[in-house]
Structure 1
Amino acid sequence: MFEQLELDDELCRAAADMGFEKPTSIQSLVIPHAMEGKDVLAEAPTGTGKTGAFLFPVCQYLLDYHRTEATSTRALVLVPTRELANQVAEQARAITKYTKLTVGVITGGINYGTDRETLSGHCDIMVATPGRLFEHIEQESFDCRDIESLILDEADRMLDMGFASIVHQIAGEARWRKQTMLFSATLEGRGVRDFAKELLKEPETLSANPSRKEKNKILQWYHLADDLTHKNDLLVHHLSESITSCIAFVKTRERLHNLKDFLHSKGFKVSYLQGEMPQDKRNAALASFKSGETNVLVATDVAARGIDVPNVSHVINYDMPRGADVYVHRIGRTGRAGAKGVAISLIEAHDFVWVGKVARYTNEPFKARVIDSLKPKNKPPTFTKKKKTKTKKQAAAKAKKRAKTKPKKTS
């Protein structure tokens, strides 16, 4: 129970309101160390409760050590995307609802006038994307000197998106902080660990093995599609069945608009996300999908970064991604926090090579299913290994070796 973690009644009450019966694995590991003021390096995939793992101890610290005078932001959470910033801020407001702590958000795509209003409020907790926040630091409209806790969420993705330099500069501006916490979906590879080495001081390194309840329970399969018409028929079949909410992934904007228009023509309620989309339209599309006003969200991979929508029942790979790791990221939009989810891939012959790649990468079976009324006419393609052609040098070396080992004729 959260009470056993020595959290104030106001925070435990908020946790109960949010439906948190007991701490998740990562929360049980992180919260005690964080409340002791230690730096934390944590491996925690999305969907395992990592946001609460850093927000609960930060809020407890702010409640234990009140402001002695009017100060600027005391806790700064840096995240890679606008959507994630809004989601973290939403959870922070829910956790602090019975306290007097205030939460603000600074992201790109928002009017600077709105930013000024947020900054003038001297929020206790600020959630921000690195690029926009650094603009305010350069313009001296945001002061880092009062920051006591710095949290880097989804650090691996911040590195992938090229934010390393800016994050280092922000951390340098907040050099008087007392605690730094870094969370990443994986600690494999040198990138995140080198990043952590430069920003953290003698951190507690924690990696949660999610309980069976917390692990994603995603049922996956694929349908072999003969062509685009067959693929569309398969998609319509599934959307007409028991799907309550679905994210359909496509590979290009052109494919996105073609699919959106096709689904509209079939009477489905659809919203969409694409790259370089105005923020107000992105917010409206996500709000429509989250509220259930539309139950299908069509998205490209770039546009879907940072989406964390609860209760997505299905993910459909209308187009296969160009990477097994991207496949895993896509299907992770369903089956959140122990809920069951379904991931269906519609695979044409030219994408069939990804069947084996996905199975090897995930170390899980990835098998075909057939709908009786929509059986494919074509068989799966077969791939034969190409024989290696020998170079002249290799052939000459082999002939020489044979000559040496050949037994001599006896007269």
Structure 2
Amino acid sequence: MIKNFAELELDPNLLLAIEEMGYDRPTQIQAEAIPQALDGRDILASAPTGTGKTAAFILPALQFLQDFPRRKPGPARVLVLTPTRELAMQVADQARELAKHTTLNIFTITGGVQYQEHANILATTQDIVVATPGRLMEYINSERFDCRAIEWLILDEADRMLDMGFGPIVDKLSHECRWRKQTLLFSATLEGKGVEGFTADLLKNPAELDAEPSRRERKKIAQWYHRADDMTHKLELLKKILTEQAERSIVFLKTRERLAELRIELEKANIACAWIQGEMPQDRRNNAISRFRDGSVNVLLATDVAARGIDLPDVSHVINYDMPRSADVYLHRIGRTARAGKKGCAVSLVEAHDQPMIDRVIRYTKEEIKERFIKEMRPKHKKPVFKKKNKKKEDSKKTPAKSKKKSAKKKK
């Protein structure tokens, strides 16, 4: 088991940058992906947000560029595709941090940027370009971007790119970069559309890696739940937690309608919040995230779709106002807190119908999620118990009993 970054055979300049960023030991996905990528393997990885996946592909890419330095100025050698402009900027920022003791150039090509600005970038030497598929394809079609020099193609949040309809464009980009040496694909899950939506020749004999956040990483997250009798009780519990316990919280809801209702209630209670939801204009979304990021507001309401791929620092609490539809989504949600070695809390507000989901999460994570109470706000109802019924057994038990009763009646 790899215990520190020095064991990963990285250059001293990268190790120094890692140390300055405050990372002490690699996460599971970093320990698994970096050696395989440096061995020249294609990578197919399941890595939810919060597992350190960006460094898992940026570090080997930076190492590769230093192991095989360019002989003359020219276009990009590593291309990272991300579904959104926001994620592209996050990835590029982290890449620059990790590359700060090198001479490598890292640029982004995304929507919302003036054409001239990109033209200036494309006229200089680039080493790594982080791009959104649609905008990059425009430049390729107008012969402004040259894919022939690309040696590594990296797809970040591949499943989300498919959800957003980028599948055909990514396949075209893959064809444009056909001279590449390696492809690395990262997705929140490897099931369903996560991989199958792309053409089969995207990856060649990849190393398959599955990195749920490790137990050690999750141990930094204290998990508990409060039972709520009804929606009014639930809202009061949330207000109490936001005003008296939490410093910076992300509150998860299952639909946009539910988010709108909660927003109005929090405004009535003078609790300032920002919010993000699916199909939201990019400028409003960016504004909400930057308000939360810079501390103008300390509560961010979010739906699962909207929160994918966002890396927000110093989140003290993740609050499940609505329980998620599955246990793995629960894990993705709580991974928003306890980042970069810090501790965090995950709190679920549970109505009677949510109890089976809490039980499922406990079985799935093999971790205890204890019930807690807030004084004067204890639930009035008893905790519901859901027993699994085996229908076949139940039916077979019932049938003989009925026939006995009938035969008894006949005898009378």
- TM bracket (short chain): 0.7 to 0.9
Aligned residues: 396
Residues 211 and 221 of structure 1, relative CA distance in 2, 3 Å threshold: closer
Partner of 1:288: 291
Cα distance in 2 for residues equivalent to 1:29 and 1:388: 44
Does residue 129 (structure 1) correspond to residue 156 (structure 2)? The answer is no
Residues 108 and 226 of structure 1, relative CA distance in 2, 3 Å threshold: farther
Q: Partner letter of residue 199 of structure 1?
A: L
Among 331, 335, 340, the residue aligned to 1:332 = 335
Partner of 1:203: 206
Cα distance in 2 for residues equivalent to 1:91 and 1:175: 27
Does residue 358 (structure 1) correspond to residue 365 (structure 2)? The answer is no
Residues 57 and 351 of structure 1, relative CA distance in 2, 3 Å threshold: closer
Does residue 239 (structure 1) correspond to residue 242 (structure 2)? The answer is yes
5 Å matches for 1:1-400? 1-108=4-111, 114-187=117-190, 192=195, 198-206=201-209, 213-215=216-218, 217-381=220-384
Structure 1 segments unaligned to the other structure (5+ residues): 407-411
Cα displacement (A) at 1:49: 2.6
Cα displacement (A) at 1:183: 2.8
Cα distance in 2 for residues equivalent to 1:103 and 1:226: 53
Cα displacement (A) at 1:58: 1.3
Q: Does structure 2 conserve the Cα–Cα contact (< 8 Å) formed by 1:247 and 1:298?
A: yes
Cα distance in 2 for residues equivalent to 1:158 and 1:86: 16
Cα distance in 2 for residues equivalent to 1:133 and 1:104: 12
Cα distance in 1 for residues equivalent to 2:341 and 2:219: 5
Partner of 2:410: none
Q: Partner letter of residue 226 of structure 2?
A: H
Residues 252 and 73 of structure 1, relative CA distance in 2, 3 Å threshold: same
Q: Partner letter of residue 96 of structure 1?
A: A
Q: Partner letter of residue 179 of structure 1?
A: Q
Cα displacement (A) at 1:297: 0.7
Cα distance in 2 for residues equivalent to 1:30 and 1:385: 40
The TM-score, its normalising length taken from structure 2, stands at 0.82
Residues 21 and 236 of structure 1, relative CA distance in 2, 3 Å threshold: same
Residues 298 and 117 of structure 1, relative CA distance in 2, 3 Å threshold: farther
Cα displacement (A) at 1:103: 1.5
Q: Does structure 1 conserve the Cα–Cα contact (< 8 Å) formed by 2:48 and 2:332?
A: no
Cα distance in 2 for residues equivalent to 1:326 and 1:33: 28
Cα distance in 2 for residues equivalent to 1:298 and 1:109: 25
Select between 323-332 and 208-217 the one with higher mean Cα deviation.
Answer: 208-217
Cα displacement (A) at 1:287: 2.2
Select between 193-202 and 9-18 the one with higher mean Cα deviation.
Answer: 193-202
Cα displacement (A) at 1:230: 1.6
Cα distance in 2 for residues equivalent to 1:261 and 1:234: 16
Cα distance in 2 for residues equivalent to 1:351 and 1:25: 31
Select between 178-187 and 114-123 the one with higher mean Cα deviation.
Answer: 114-123
Partner of 1:409: none
Residues 31 and 252 of structure 1, relative CA distance in 2, 3 Å threshold: closer
Cα distance in 2 for residues equivalent to 1:277 and 1:114: 26
Cα distance in 1 for residues equivalent to 2:80 and 2:108: 10
Q: Partner letter of residue 58 of structure 2?
A: L
1:150 is paired with a residue whose SS is strand
Q: Does structure 1 conserve the Cα–Cα contact (< 8 Å) formed by 2:46 and 2:209?
A: yes
Q: Does structure 1 conserve the Cα–Cα contact (< 8 Å) formed by 2:253 and 2:320?
A: yes
Q: Partner letter of residue 306 of structure 2?
A: A
Select between 56-65 and 257-266 the one with higher mean Cα deviation.
Answer: 257-266
Cα distance in 2 for residues equivalent to 1:206 and 1:303: 25
Residues 387 and 373 of structure 1, relative CA distance in 2, 3 Å threshold: same
Output the aligned Cα RMSD. 3.5
Q: Does structure 1 conserve the Cα–Cα contact (< 8 Å) formed by 2:273 and 2:298?
A: yes
Cα distance in 1 for residues equivalent to 2:347 and 2:380: 19
Residues 195 and 124 of structure 1, relative CA distance in 2, 3 Å threshold: same
Cα distance in 2 for residues equivalent to 1:149 and 1:183: 14
Cα displacement (A) at 1:270: 1.8
2:376 is paired with a residue whose SS is helix
Q: Does structure 2 conserve the Cα–Cα contact (< 8 Å) formed by 1:48 and 1:337?
A: no
Cα distance in 1 for residues equivalent to 2:278 and 2:194: 26
